[in-house]
Amino acid sequence: MSLETVAEKGLVLLGCGKMGGAMLAGWLKGGLPPSSVWVLDPHPSDWLKGTGVHLNDGLPDSPAVAIVAVKPQMMGEALPGLRALGNSTTVFLSIAAGTPISAFEAAFGAQSPIIRGMPNTPAAVGRGITAIVGNPHVGEAGMDLAEALLSAVGQVARIETEDQMDAVTGVSGSGPAYVFHLIETLAAAGVAQGLPEDLAMQLAKATVAGAGALAEGTDETPTQLRINVTSPNGTTQAALNVLMDADSGFPALLPRAVEAATKRSKELANG
């Protein structure tokens, strides 16, 4: 199944908030005709109204894909609107956190092709990463289609089993918040050392963004990159002695943070 098939048969988007809107913008920019898109959203934004898509205007008979992009607490009210598409060739792609594939099989029918995805918020600027996993009815063509669609907002990674999704949530789904907090605290630390607030924040944002881009844009590992900028007995080494402390530094804190997020993801999935 290709993007040309999506243009021909149609795409349904249930929910067009920040994440759904970012994806829709990417698809339209990539050439998907607005006439091939049906959006169901009770509170459409002015931007959405101006895209030319079918808005709250029924559904096509057998769309190539139906994407669930509503918040988990809205599932009960929103999912029945797509039930007529179940147990057919339409591929359902969910990007709703904490909702397992089994819940969609119950809502749409056990024979429905269903893919569960976990994107993260950098998708809003085309720099996200989404992990995906499908049920046995999806097939390789359906997974390829999901990957092609989600590539509009960043990278896509396939995981082997759905139970890995909780750990994905702990690392990349919730991960941007960890980085934002790093920026906050790094800037505050600069202020504590005498920098003006605006300068400290500018330095912190650019440092984190630049380091991330460098880590992605080189073949060297993050470990080697760290070694490259750490002179023996220099300023960076003095800081890393604190951050790499086994009891109070990143090696102790980050595993606890990811474990807490993973545990909470499991709790949400189990109701």
15 in a known ligand binding site: yes
17 in a known ligand binding site: yes
53 in a known ligand binding site: no
173 in a known ligand binding site: no
69 in a known ligand binding site: yes
228 in a known ligand binding site: no
Three-state DSSP class for residue 210? helix
56 in a known ligand binding site: yes
14 in a known ligand binding site: yes
72 in a known ligand binding site: yes
Among 95, 102, 97, 103, smallest CA distance to 76 is for 103
Cβ 64 vs Cβ 40: under 8 Å: no
In this structure, which amino acid lies at residue 127? R
Q: What is the C-alpha end-to-end distance of the chain, expressed in Å?
A: 34
81 in a known ligand binding site: no
Containing 46, the helix (H) or strand (E) segment is helix 46-49
Strands lying side by side in the sheet with 154-158: 54-55, 37-40, 11-14, 65-68, 91-94, 114-118, 128-134, 154-158
| Residue ranges of the binding site | 14-19, 56, 69-72
Residues tagged in the binding site annotation for NADPH:
56
Q: Output the known binding site for NADP(+).
A: 14-19, 69-72
